[in-house]
Amino acid sequence: MKLLSHFSPKNSSLSPLSAPFFSALSFRLRRSTGFPVTSPPPPPPPYISVSPSLSCHVSSRTGGGAGGVVSMDSPSLDLAVSVDSVARDLKNQSLGSDAGDYSKRLGLKLEDINWDHSFVRELPGDPRTDTIPREVLHACYTKVLPSAEVENPQLVAWSESVAELLGLDPQEFERPDFSLLFSGASTLVGALPYAQCYGGHQFGMWAGQLGDGRAITLGEIINSKSERWELQLKGAGKTPYSRFADGLAVLRSSIREFLCSEAMHSLGIPTTRALCLVTTGKYVTRDMFYDGNPKEEPGAIVCRVSQSFLRFGSYQIHASRGKEDLGIVRALADYAIRNHFPHIDNMSRSESLSFTTGDEDHSVVDLTSNKYAAWVVEVAERTATLIANWQGVGFTHGVLNTDNMSILGLTIDYGPFGFLDAFDPSYTPNTTDLPGRRYCFANQPDIGLWNIAQFASTLSAAQLINDREANYAMERYGTKFMDEYQAIMTKKLGLPKYNKQLISKLLNNMAVDKVDYTNFFRLLSNIKADPSIPEEELLVPLKAVLLDIGKERKEAWISWAKSYIEELASGGISDEERKVSMNAVNPKYVLRNYLCQSAIDAAELGDFGEVRRLLKIMERPYDEQPGMEKYARLPPAWAYRPGVCMLSCSS
């Protein structure tokens, strides 16, 4: 039976996916999380055909898959962070000469950056350079210049760790022209700006050409470690991909993207980064809720940083255009492997990388004989690892369209995201997603599979992989996700081994009583592995999060706590040792939406202090940070109003 049909040049559609296959793997994914799901799973992808006889063998092992389990341990955390130290950190953001250790080290001046432009050099580009909205054919990018109007732009904040990553001298952030350079009003010496062409599925429907409608890449920096980092200005003006939009961004959404990029990195979750945030000094008209009530908002530009901004949709758009552009899919795949997956190019055929699929005939997939097969499998596994980490920390992306899926397995495009407050598996932070909750928290693992199916379909359309290889990539996604997720949850609970029943009961209890996700797991480390603790004292360590529960619910929690303590006692680890290890994977501080909103409200009045303070606090999410406890509090009542707990894609 044929697995994948090729894109039709006329309508970009593929033959339907076999519902039994997708449902079977989706069912396994949902069971593995233990979520008490109230929302339906996403429907099977309509553009890919898979044999219904495929049996996806998924592992229930506690350990990691072929690539091992990604550690959520925090790196070298300083456990004694005082209010004074946070204050000192804030002074660093004032760009004074007495800033912290990094600021005392000399780095590159902006004029001395080692630029490279491999994307422009190695891939086909648009012969036109105008920004008239249009279909850009047979090209991966269009050269454009930033065009956002500015008037006395100001630097809001900058990331020391990203500056260090790029090798920049901290004194460069004091330059009078810095805000002009990073708003795009002045040109950085050596930059070669362009906007990328890509397409994508949005809410399950093929949307055709999308592209960088307001993000303009400046080029790639090669740092002292020979690492390639792409710099991109988001909100820098119109491109041919802007469609009916103005190519600009507002301060509200820019603060959220800047802070969350850095917060996710500090949590240990793969993500794009953010170097700096500047205001434009101009106002932008936005209808935040698409309800016919637009208002003027301050404009801003974020400098995003990533090893690559290639997305699944970067490949889809060319496959959708038929035979004439299928060669571009191959060229883009070769580019990605050469620059970002060089180990695949260097694989020895003597390595044992042959695997038996779950198909009825137990077909063998040899990843050494086809580099594209090895590549799609690695993309699938990276994506699985990423989403498992999201589930572990309670992060909901909100817009998991295929144009928002990184081939590097990074969190990309921070729009209406949200961290769980009260645990609700059906939570979506995106008002546009409310009718079907396609992108709700519990559905994210399924959506990851759906998107991998689309990516595999694209590579098959370009004849880069065959049916068995596409099937195997999806199998590996399922296995990898479950291995990673189970390992993460085992660490979060401090268990000696994975216990599905215990975790499922816990998540059900949390959903029923709307328990704060972050604070619960942080407090859980205070429970002692002592079966002799009196029943009436079992829940004392959790009293701050188990609010207003009646007698019946209290009994349910006591029953769970007894089982949990018995499991802990069987591990033979001291309470002190377990507390340290649990606190290293259960953050005290996450970037809750209400914290973002407080910083936004102040920034819109010209006070950037709260943005800088949040940046510093979120750099150490696993530390206690004495004096900063208010940033770990439960959300206030006002946090549940529209525009705070839930947002639109307006930005």
The single-letter code of the amino acid at 582 is M
Q: Nearest Cα to 270, choosing from 135, 410, 67, 383? A: 410
Helical H segments across 291-340, by residue range? 312-319, 323-340
CA 347, distance to chain mean position in Å, is 29
**Whole-Å CA distances, 403 to 200, 284, 340:** 5, 25, 19
Alpha-carbon gap, residue 566 to 390, rounded angstroms: 29
CB 589 within 8 Å of CB 632: yes
Alpha-carbon gap, residue 443 to 433, rounded angstroms: 12
Task: Enter the tokens of residue 77.
Answer: 């955390």
Query: Computed from CA positions of residues 327, 328, 329, 332, in that sequence, does the dihedral angle turn out positive or negative?
Result: positive
Please list the residues that pair with 196 across neighbouring strands: 141
Instruction: Select which of 403, 413, 424, 623 is catalytic.
Output: 403
Alpha-carbon gap, residue 472 to 364, rounded angstroms: 9
CB 359 within 8 Å of CB 55: yes
Please list the residues that pair with 206 across neighbouring strands: 201
Task: Enter the tokens of residue 537.
Answer: 């004292």
Please list the residues that pair with 411 across neighbouring strands: 271
Query: Computed from CA positions of residues 145, 149, 150, 151, in that sequence, does the dihedral angle turn out positive or negative?
Result: positive
Task: Enter the tokens of residue 475.
Answer: 């199998």
403 is catalytic: yes
Q: Count other C-beta atoms under 10 Å from residue 642's C-beta.
A: 12
The H or E element containing residue 478 is helix 467-493
Helical H segments across 366-466, by residue range? 371-393, 444-461
Instruction: Give the burial class of 174: count Cβ atoms within 10 A of its Cβ; 0-12 exposed, 13-18 middle, 19 or more buried.
Output: middle
Instruction: Give the burial class of 88: count Cβ atoms within 10 A of its Cβ; 0-12 exposed, 13-18 middle, 19 or more buried.
Output: middle
Name the DSSP letter for residue 138.
Answer: S
Name the DSSP letter for residue 422.
Answer: B
Task: Enter the tokens of residue 379.
Answer: 């993309």
Q: Nearest Cα to 301, choosing from 161, 110, 154? A: 154
Helix axes 467-493, 371-393, angle to 10 degrees: 30
Residues taking part in catalysis? 403
